Amino acid sequence: MDPVAALVSPALAQSIDSLGSASPDPGVGGGYLTLLLRTLLYLVAISLIIYAALRWVVPRVFRWDFRARGSLAVIDRLSMGGHKSVCVMRAVGRYYLIGVTDSQVRLLTELDPQEVEANYPDRIGMKVADVESARTPRGS
């Protein structure tokens, strides 16, 4: 039995092997069907390996860490339509409200640290993607 086929699904590998030989001669035990199924099985297995490498292995090997551990962090972001948004940012222990468009980034105001930490206690030090998914309606 082929090791890659056995890795993906032993039952599927046995059923492929039982169809006939891998000979491309159509007169010998359904060779084309077996060859096609085996090729598709390899394609799926290689695709899964590449997906796993890109999703889990590569970021850990190269230490790709998008958490806001440094002195800069986006605490919250609100889209204002199109490519415009307003962000609450932390920079070296201070908090700022900034406006972001396609062509510029503008400081709107500096925010009170106690007020920001009171309104976002669960988001200080989170990943930017986690901030997007953790949004909850205010006042509820």
Q: What is the pLDDT of residues 69-101, one digit of tens each?
A: 567 888 889 999 888 999 999 888 889 999 999
Residue spans per domain, the chain: 3-61, 72-133
Separation between Cα atoms, residue 105 and residue 85, nearest integer Å: 10
Q: Is the dihedral of CA 107, 112, 115, 120 positive or negative?
A: positive
Task: Give the DSSP letter string of 74-135.
Answer: EEEEEE-STT-EEEEEEETTEEEEEEE-SS-EEEEEEEPHHHHHHH-TTTTT-BHHHHHHT-
**What mean pLDDT do residues 26-45 have?**
82
- pLDDT class of 25 with cuts at 50, 70, 90: low
